[in-house]
């Protein structure tokens, strides 16, 4: 599909005015939605997804429980109006299921599931608007929702897309760019630098891979800082709200010492 | 329709007794006919031709997730009448999908059933010929717009049907149909004089392209950067009022805007859909939900009071939509000034 | 009767400028203000905040507690919350999380399933709790052994959807909690309505049975479920007149007059408002909020309106 728009013009600008390595605006809204244990609405530029986490809780179907760890259940719904061309995908659509299982596989190594045997963690993702980097947005949103729900994580999982336009690598692609150039999505855990996901559905020259992979990994660190700031900001707000209230008569300080001893 | 929350017998009887008293008090202090506050915003989906978000009953505060929240969006697509699925005059199609986050305790099969039920109710009402907009035609007998209205239920704390139709009406009122202009290839010579140009579907003379021979008459978007014109029956899109019936007695007490707990405690709900237009008020659709029954005589009375409530809701919504239009115009102007 | 409002504007503080990023110029990355956050000296209230994956301290000097793990001799946080240190033990307390039970906790739960000789109870925890038939007070005497007939009519005691107040008795090997209702103060709940709040907002109190002077009783379950009901006179509690099944396991509410109902609704709304601003609940604060609502003559249904909420939170906050 040849595009009439230049992906990268002579001045080094992309179609939306960004530079090669510039990421799009991130908006993170961690306020409570519905009865979820943790929820977030996340935008990368014009791509917008919401994620809600329920759990760890009793599994809806007993057959799904695992005796030694929690089962992670990911369900993705894609709003029919999220794309330029309307497309209704049911939740049982092969591509949607595949997408959900990719996200599940990304988080298996990050969530400390062994702490909650026989429980279930439900992750419900709604894709509200798509403009490239949907997988990256879903993964970042899931990380934030899990952290907001107080589910133990080994680390954040930060995802970013990278592509290459005739030898010049680009980051955080829009739909326009995704349609035109080879691209990949990398999800990494910033503390260790471990990669939990790497997908590529287009062909890419093997010599280009190294460079773009490195770039995406370092962009992950940048995203990590933003996400961490948002989580801390929220924690700070909540802690502040909780300290406003006067202490009740006869209220004990949380008896943590006793409980901690047996762990 | 199964309840989405589980209640104990004593909770149910607590709710029912409170509603049935001489001066009824509801769990949240409202009287029978009070609505919770309704938040509304239009233009929430940038890739849609019209959209709206509605939340009924959100408590103020960062940490309250309460309220029934739905998003509705309209998309317009061109359909060929001859070659595609299109119908002359355009089509209107509605779907509802419930996010699992709205019903965290339902299995996915139950969730699909629920979405399907809601889709049927919305679609049957809105795609009825009496509500068909005339300006979905692009080229008569050739091209028309397919209007799809997709609604997503993001969270449900009761009265989801009223929310569905509020969002649907707001999204439809917000919809702008792009202006189009028919273009037609006029052969230079009269070589094809005998043939009716309008009917020459297979005419080889087209200079557009060999692929496009079928459309000797095509259209282009009129090059206004203006968004287009609203659907021509803007005012007629119906509003829904759900009357929650406390009992099946001959003079049933009813209340409006039930919470999920209240819905779980009552036997019957009556959905009434009214359309208000200059030409008069029409009852577009009605549905009795639940496992009880009501007597025929009480129906007339319920219809009458339902119409009253619907009219108030309609008027309030109309004002709010105007307000929203104003807000968005101001916002657009402000942005324009910045540049 | 119908009021339309607008959605609140998203908070500005949550939106970030486009993160600039460039490989040629590493300094670009330092522009960000959040860089210093790692050292986290933001102790307004003496608490230190952390989030998943953040190193806290060396594992040589400290032991790891809840919400942490050890990797390469460093204690690392696994949840977002506040760091708590007791002697050599470091743990992180998550702000929003499901209820973590401890033996002896008082909880309010809802029956989700009836199984042979036991019930499953939703208690906002990581798994449904278990209530054994042998852990409830059987009608006809406190010390009676359970009979086969009790097993057959298990639904006479509790059935699906029923609410109960219970105490956490013990844990099974897989971490499931086991409950008991073997006290006259525990058992089936009637005469009121339920409110759910995040569990962290319920502090440990001397007593979780609170009686407000407005003829309203509260049971503050540590799992975040709160039962608001009509005040029952201590010596009129059903248990006192001998345990007969009708009174203990009855589903019948008592007659409740209008002012009491109004008070119950008012308390419920106050709890919702306080919880939606993340204010921890206690008898003192609820009483204060109640008095404020009465003094200012706020109608029950108006309590959830934005301006009223803000005024309330402000009052409650300044008094402390």
CATH number at residue B178: 3.30.230.70
The answer to whether residue C100 sits within a structural domain is no
Instruction: Please give the pLDDT value at position C300.
Output: 81
| In the predicted structure, residue C14 carries a pLDDT above the cut 90 | no
Q: Which domain holds residue C26?
A: 15-94
pLDDT for res B204: 42
Supply the CATH number for residue A68's domain.
3.30.230.70
Query: Would residue B195 count as lying in a domain?
Result: no
Kindly state whether residues C218 and C261 are assigned to the same domain. Answer: yes
Q: Is residue C1 part of a domain?
A: no
Q: What is the pLDDT of residue A142?
A: 97
Give me the residue from A28, A246, A248 closest to C14, CB to CB: A28
A98 domain-assigned: yes
Residues C143 and C290 in one domain: yes
C4 touches chain B (CB under 8 A): yes
Nearest to A129 among B46, B63, B74 (CB): B46
In this predicted model, which residue has the larger pLDDT, C63 or C245? C63
Domain for residue B44, yes or no? Answer: yes
Q: What is the model's pLDDT at position C195?
A: 92
CB-nearest to A81 from B47, B108, B154 is B47
Q: Is the pLDDT of residue C31 over 70?
A: no
Asked if residue A153 belongs to a domain, the reply is yes
pLDDT on residue B223 = 63
Least confident among A30-39, B317-326, C16-25, C243-252: C16-25
Determine, for residues A21 and C319 on separate chains, whether the beta-carbon distance falls below 8 Å.
no
Split at pLDDT 50, 70, 90, the class of A206 is confident
Give yes or no for residue C42 having a pLDDT over 80: no
The answer to the question of residue A179 being in a domain is yes
Tell whether A11 is covered by a domain. no
Residue B55 is nearest to which of C7, C278, C310, comparing CB atoms? C7
Instruction: Report the mean per-residue pLDDT for chain A.
Output: 87
- Selecting from B47, B62, B99 the residue whose C-beta is nearest the C-beta of A126 gives B99
- Lowest-confidence segment of A98-102, B225-229, B302-306, C28-32 by average pLDDT: C28-32
C142 band by pLDDT with thresholds 50, 70 and 90: low
Cβ pair C23:A235 closer than 8 A: no
Tally of structural domains, chain A: 1
Range of the domain at A109: 26-237
CA distance A80 to chain B (A): 7
The residue range of the domain holding B174 is: 9-182+222-338
Q: How many CB pairs under 8 A join B and C?
A: 139
Chains that touch B (3 or more CB pairs under 8 A): A, C
Question: How is residue A106 written in tokens?
Answer: 């990304």
Residues B246, B255 contacting (CB under 8 angstroms): yes
pLDDT band at A91 (very low <50, low <70, confident <90, very high): confident
Q: How far is A211 from chain B (nearest CA, A)?
A: 34
Choose among A41, C301, C303, A73: nearest CA to B69. A41
> What percentage of chain B has pLDDT greater than the value 70?
84
**Residue C54, domain CATH:** 2.40.50.100
Contact B77 A85 (CB under 8 A): yes
ipTM of the complex: 0.86
Query: Got the DSSP string for C187-213?
Result: EE--SEEEEE--GGGB---S-SEEEET
B192 lies in some domain:
no
Say if residue C222 is in the same domain as residue C87: no
Q: Provide the pairing of β-strand A194-200 with A119-129.
A: unpaired
Q: Is the same domain home to C245 and C142?
A: yes
Question: What's the distance, Cα to Cα, between the start and end of chain C in Å?
Answer: 36
Contact A128 B95 (CB under 8 A): no
C161 shares a domain with C59:
no
* Structural domain total, chain B: 1
pLDDT of residue A98 exceeding 50: yes
Alpha-carbon distance of C304 to B28, in angstroms, equals 9
Look at A222 and C126 and tell me if their CB atoms are within 8 Å: no
**What is the rounded average pLDDT for all residues in chain B?**
83
Q: Which chains touch A (3 or more CB pairs under 8 A)?
A: B, C
Distance CA B49, CA B38 (A): 23
Same domain, C154 and C268: yes
Taking residues B230-255, report their average pLDDT: 85
Asked, as a colleague might, if the bond just before A27 is cis with ω within 30 of 0, I would say: no
Measured CA to CA, the distance from residue C184 to residue A55 in angstroms comes to 32
Distance CA A154, CA A107 (A): 10
Select from C94, C119, C135 the last residue of a domain: C94
pTM of the prediction? 0.88
Q: Is A83 on the interface with B (CB under 8 A)?
A: yes
Output the pLDDT for position B198: 45
Neighbours of chain C (3+ CB pairs under 8 A): A, B
Q: Does C146 touch chain B (CB under 8 A)?
A: no
For residue C8, is it within any domain? no
CATH of the domain at C160: 2.40.50.140
**pLDDT at residue B326 is higher than 50:** yes
Of C66, C94, C122, the residue that ends a domain is C94
Q: Are residues C35 and C164 in the same domain?
A: no
pLDDT at B248: 67
Whether C201 and C313 share a structural domain: yes
Question: What residues of A are in contact with residue B45 (Cβ under 8 Å)?
Answer: 79, 81-82, 128-129
Q: B327 lies in a domain?
A: yes
- Alpha carbon distances (Å) from C74 to A225, C77, C194: 21, 10, 44
Please tell me whether residue C42 adopts helix, strand or coil conformation.
coil
Say yes or no: C217 contacts chain B, CB-CB below 8 A: no
Q: B75-109, pLDDT tens digit by residue?
A: 999 888 888 777 888 889 999 999 999 999 888 89
C251/B30 CB distance under 8 A? no
Q: How far apart are CA C227 and CA B22, in angstroms?
A: 25
Same domain, C270 and C232: yes
The pLDDT confidence band at residue B63, using thresholds 50, 70 and 90, is low
**Among partner residues B7, B61, B312, which is closest to C1 by beta-carbon distance?**
B312
Binning pLDDT at 50, 70 and 90, where does residue A256 land?
Answer: very low
Instruction: Indicate whether C313 and C200 sit together in one domain.
Output: yes
Instruction: Specify the pLDDT at position C12.
Output: 43
Average pLDDT for C145-164: 86
State the virtual CA torsion across B132, B133, B135, B136 in degrees, nearest 10. -50
pLDDT at B117: 94
Domain final position from C72, C94, C116:
C94
The answer, for C303 touching chain B at a CB cutoff of 8 Å, is yes
CB of A53 less than 8 A from some CB of B: no
- Answer whether residue A92 is part of any domain: yes
Q: Is pLDDT of A258 > 80?
A: no
CA distances from A163 to A8, A76, A181, B40, B54 (A): 12, 25, 6, 39, 38
CB proximity A141 to C under 8 Å: no
Stretch A19-35: mean pLDDT, rounded? 90
Are residues C184 and C266 located together in one domain of the fold?
yes
Q: Which of C1, C4, C193 sits opposite B40 (nearest CB)?
A: C4
The single residue listed with the structure tokens 């010596």 is C235
Helix axes B160-174, B108-126, angle to 10 degrees: 50
Average pLDDT for B223-241: 81
Distance of CA C227 to the CA centre of its chain: 11
Considering the domain boundaries, does residue B189 fall inside one?
Answer: no
| CB-CB under 8 Å, B65 with A32 | yes
The alpha-carbon gap from B45 to the nearest alpha carbon of chain C, in Å, equals: 15
Cα–Cα distance, C81 to C65 (Å, whole number): 13
For A195-217, what is the mean pLDDT? 90
Mean pLDDT of all residues belonging to chain C = 81
Residue B246 · residue B266 · CB < 8 Å: yes
Chain A residue with the nearest C-alpha to that of B51:
A81
Q: What is the mean pLDDT of residues A241-253?
A: 55
Residue A118 at interface with chain C, using a CB cutoff of 8 Å: yes
- What residues does B221 pair with on adjacent strands? B180
Tell me if A213 is assigned to some domain.
yes
Residue A57's alpha-carbon distances to A72, C121, C128, C140, C142, in angstroms, are: 11, 12, 7, 36, 34
**A205 close contact with B: CB closer than 8 A:** no
C279 touches chain A (CB under 8 A): yes
If one compares B197 and A236, the residue with the highest pLDDT of the two is A236
In a domain, C9, yes or no: no
The values of phi and psi at residue A27, to 5°, are -120, 125
Tell me, yes or no, whether C190 and C236 share the same domain: yes
């Amino acid at each position: 599909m040849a595009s009439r728009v230049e992906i990268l013009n002579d001045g080094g600008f992309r179609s939306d005015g960004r530079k090669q390595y510039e990421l799009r605006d991130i908006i993170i809204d961690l306020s409570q939605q519905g009865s979820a244990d943790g929820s977030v609405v996340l935008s990368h530029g014009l791509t917008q997804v919401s994620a809600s986490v329920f759990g760890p809780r009793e599994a809806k179907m007993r057959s799904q429980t695992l005796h030694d760890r929690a089962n992670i259940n990911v369900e993705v719904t894609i709003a029919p109006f999220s794309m330029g061309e309307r497309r209704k995908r049911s939740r049982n659509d092969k591509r949607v299921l595949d997408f959900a299982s990719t996200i599940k596989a990304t988080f298996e190594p990050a969530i400390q599931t062994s702490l909650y045997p026989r429980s279930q963690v439900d992750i419900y993702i709604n894709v509200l608007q798509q403009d490239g980097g949907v997988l990256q947005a879903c993964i970042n949103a899931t990380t934030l929702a899990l952290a907001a729900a107080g589910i133990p994580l080994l680390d954040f999982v930060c995802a970013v897309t990278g592509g290459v336009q005739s030898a010049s690598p680009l980051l955080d692609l829009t739909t326009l760019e995704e349609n035109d150039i080879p691209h990949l999505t990398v999800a990494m855990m910033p503390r260790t630098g471990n990669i939990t996901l790497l997908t590529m559905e287009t062909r890419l020259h093997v010599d280009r891979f190294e460079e773009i992979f490195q770039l995406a990994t370092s962009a992950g660190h940048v995203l990590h800082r933003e996400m961490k700031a948002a989580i801390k900001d929220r924690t700070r707000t909540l802690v502040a709200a909780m300290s406003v209230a006067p202490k009740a008569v006869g209220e004990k300080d949380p008896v943590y010492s006793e409980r901690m001893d047996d762990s | 329709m199964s309840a989405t929350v589980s209640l104990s017998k004593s909770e149910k009887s607590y709710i029912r007794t409170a509603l049935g008293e001489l001066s009824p008090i509801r769990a949240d202090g409202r009287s029978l006919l009070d609505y919770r506050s309704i938040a509304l915003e239009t233009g929430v989906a940038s890739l849609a031709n019209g959209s709206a978000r509605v939340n009924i009953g959100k408590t103020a505060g960062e940490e309250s997730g309460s309220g029934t929240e739905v998003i509705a969006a309209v998309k317009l697509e061109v359909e060929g009448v001859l070659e595609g699925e299109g119908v002359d005059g355009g089509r209107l199609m509605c779907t509802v999908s419930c996010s699992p986050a709205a019903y965290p305790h339902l299995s996915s099969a139950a969730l699909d059933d629920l979405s399907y039920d809601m889709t049927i109710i919305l679609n049957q009402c809105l795609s009825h010929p009496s509500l068909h907009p005339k300006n979905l035609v692009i080229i008569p007998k050739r091209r028309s717009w397919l209007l799809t209205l997709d609604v997503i239920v993001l969270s449900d704390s009761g009265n989801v049907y009223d929310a569905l139709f509020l969002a649907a009406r707001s999204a439809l009122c917000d919809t702008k149909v792009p202006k189009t202009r028919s273009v037609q290839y006029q052969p230079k010579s009269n070589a094809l004089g005998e043939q009716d140009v309008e009917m020459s579907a297979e005419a080889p003379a087209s200079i557009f392209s060999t692929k496009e021979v079928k459309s000797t008459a095509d259209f282009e978007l009129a090059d206004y950067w203006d968004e287009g014109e609203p659907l021509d029956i803007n005012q007629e899109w119906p509003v829904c009022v759900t009357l929650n019936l406390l009992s099946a007695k001959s003079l049933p007490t009813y209340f409006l805007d039930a919470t999920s707990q209240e819905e779980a405690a009552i036997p019957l709900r009556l959905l009434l859909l009214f359309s208000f237009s200059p030409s008069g008020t029409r009852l577009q659709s009605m549905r009795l939900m639940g496992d009880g029954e009501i007597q025929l005589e009480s129906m007339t009375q319920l219809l009458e009071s339902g119409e009253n409530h619907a009219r108030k809701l309609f008027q309030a919504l109309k004002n709010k939509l105007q307000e929203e239009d104003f807000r968005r115009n101001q916002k657009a102007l402000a942005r324009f000034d910045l540049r | 009767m119908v009021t339309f409002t607008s959605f609140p504007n998203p908070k500005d503080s949550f939106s970030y400028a486009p993160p600039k990023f460039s490989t040629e110029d590493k300094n670009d990355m330092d522009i960000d203000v959040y860089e210093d956050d790692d050292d986290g000296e933001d102790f307004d209230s003496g608490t230190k905040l952390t989030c998943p994956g953040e190193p806290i301290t060396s594992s040589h000097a400290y032991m790891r507690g809840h919400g942490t793990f050890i990797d390469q001799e460093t204690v690392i946080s696994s949840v977002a919350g506040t760091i708590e240190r007791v002697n050599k033990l470091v743990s992180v307390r998550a702000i929003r999380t499901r209820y973590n039970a401890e033996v002896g906790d008082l909880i309010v739960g809802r029956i989700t399933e009836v199984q042979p000789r036991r019930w499953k109870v939703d208690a906002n925890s990581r798994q449904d709790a278990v209530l054994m038939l042998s852990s409830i007070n059987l009608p006809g005497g406190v010390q009676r052994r359970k009979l086969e007939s009790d097993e057959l009519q298990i639904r006479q005691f509790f059935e699906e959807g029923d609410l109960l107040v219970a105490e956490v008795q013990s844990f099974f090997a897989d971490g499931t909690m086991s409950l008991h209702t073997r006290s006259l103060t525990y058992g089936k709940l009637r005469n009121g309505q339920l409110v759910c709040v995040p569990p962290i907002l319920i502090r440990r109190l001397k007593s979780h049975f609170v009686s407000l002077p407005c003829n309203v009783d509260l049971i503050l379950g540590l799992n975040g479920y709160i039962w608001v009901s009509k005040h029952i006179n201590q010596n009129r509690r059903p248990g006192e007149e001998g345990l007969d099944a009708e009174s203990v396991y009855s589903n019948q509410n008592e007659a409740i007059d209008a002012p009491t109902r109004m008070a119950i609704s008012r308390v419920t709304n106050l709890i919702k408002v306080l919880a939606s601003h993340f204010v921890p609940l206690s008898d003192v604060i609820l009483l204060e909020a109640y008095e404020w609502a009465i003094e200012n003559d706020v109608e029950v249904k108006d309590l959830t309106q934005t301006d009223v909420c803000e005024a309330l939170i402000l009052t409650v906050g300044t008094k402390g």
